[in-house]
Each structure stands twice: as structure tokens, then as C-alpha cells.
Amino acid sequence: MTLDANPAMEPDIVARVPPIPLPDESCEAVYCSHLLEHLESDEASALIAEVWRVLTVGGEVEFCTPYALSPMAFQDPTHRSYWVPERFAYYTNKYAYLAYGLETRFELVTLGMVAWEVQATMRKVSA
């Protein structure tokens, strides 16, 4: 199933996110490519919380976004937030002690960079 705000992409669901118009724990996997950078930081955090909501326990999400220090991150005037690999760790228990109010019930499965792109796979670990 595909979701996109642009009907020209012919997605199964046309919607702007967040929120994600799906029921709780209805997805085993989510793939989110080149969306986070188009959201303000608080909206990106809200989207990550929504992904956690729609994933089943043990479900995984893969995020791909331009690396913050790359030309790709800044050349597009619609980019609103900038990502480095370590930023995804704030959505795990590693930084939960900071009490930022972020969704921290993920574990990092993979985290790294391919060319100028940050790639992170996270697994929902609790309900």
C-alpha cells in the first residue's frame, strides 16, 4: 500500500501526514523515503510517533533522508529539517533520560550513510 500527498503519484491513499490515516498496529513495515526533510522538526517527530502507532510490535520502519551537510539537503527550498545519523537515536531509549517528549520505543536496527543519504531502520519494541 502506498501513501502520498500528491495524487499524480497515484498512491493507494492520498493524504498529508502526520497523522497517518491508518488504524493502530496495522502495518508490519513502513518505508519513508525523502519525506522527513520536508517537515519542520516537530512535524517530523509527530510523524515518527505516528509510524510507531501504526506499526505492529516488532514491525520496522526504514527512513531515507539527505545528509544534513550535503548540498542535497540545502539545494531544495522545500526542505525544513536536516538529518544526521545520530538524530535517529533520539527516538530510542538512548536519549530517553532527556525527557524531550519524543517517541522513544524504537530500537535501531541499522543506521548509516550511503553516499549523501542517511538511512535508518528502526524496530517498534513495545506497545
Residue range 4-22, pLDDT digits in tens: 999 999 999 999 999 999 9
* pLDDT tens-digit map of 41-73: 999 999 999 999 999 999 999 999 999 999 999
Taking the C-alpha atoms of residue 26 and residue 47, their distance in angstroms, rounded to an integer, is 16
Return the C-alpha torsion angle 120, 42, 44, 76, nearest 10: -100
Q: What confidence score (pLDDT) does residue 16 get?
A: 94
The pLDDT of residue 126? 83
What's residue 109's pLDDT? 98
Longest CA span, the chain: 43
How far apart, in whole angstroms, are the C-alpha atoms of residue 80 and residue 78? 6
